[in-house]
Amino acid sequence: MSKEWVVLFGGEKVDSSEDFTLNFVPLERLLGNYRSFDVKDFDAFVKKIRKRKNYRISRGIKKVLSPEEEDFTDREIFALLGIDKDNLRYGFLLLSAEDEIIILGVWPIALAEAIMGDDRIIPAILTAIFMDPKAWKRVDLVFPSRL
């Protein structure tokens, strides 16, 4: 049994050499529950993406498996991935719910370990992604290929 969210990302072709997998550590495992933020904040962020050269929206999630190995590919799950100016990588696996965006997991393991020591890291990174585009070399918002 997997203990992480497993997400297959890829190109447009079914069997693409561009495909890769990221394992997101479940936030519930790290903190005892999931965290969320208001969907209005997220919607405002999405509107700003198109104006930022270093931010991209794409459709590249091919498959999502839960930590219990259930197929969640048909759910409203997407990823927010960033590379900051120091080449540090950050990833959040997100679920769109009615009035909120739920943070299901984080990547890489170094981020998960840091969050275990201080969960204030989550809003700090998300705020930086949402509000400080100059701090980032690249930010990708990746939706399922099927949408």
User: Quick one: pLDDT at residue 50?
Assistant: 84
Q: Where are the domains of the chain?
A: 5-144
How is 61-73 classified by DSSP, letter by letter? EEEEE-TT--B-T
The Cα–Cα gap between 86 and 55 comes to 17
What pTM value is reported for the model? 0.93
Helix (H, G, I), strand (E, B) or coil at 76: coil
The mean pLDDT values, 10 residues at a time, for the chain of 147 residues are: 87 68 96 94 91 94 96 96 97 96 97 95 96 96 86
User: Quick one: pLDDT at residue 1?
Assistant: 46
User: Quick one: pLDDT at residue 13?
Assistant: 53
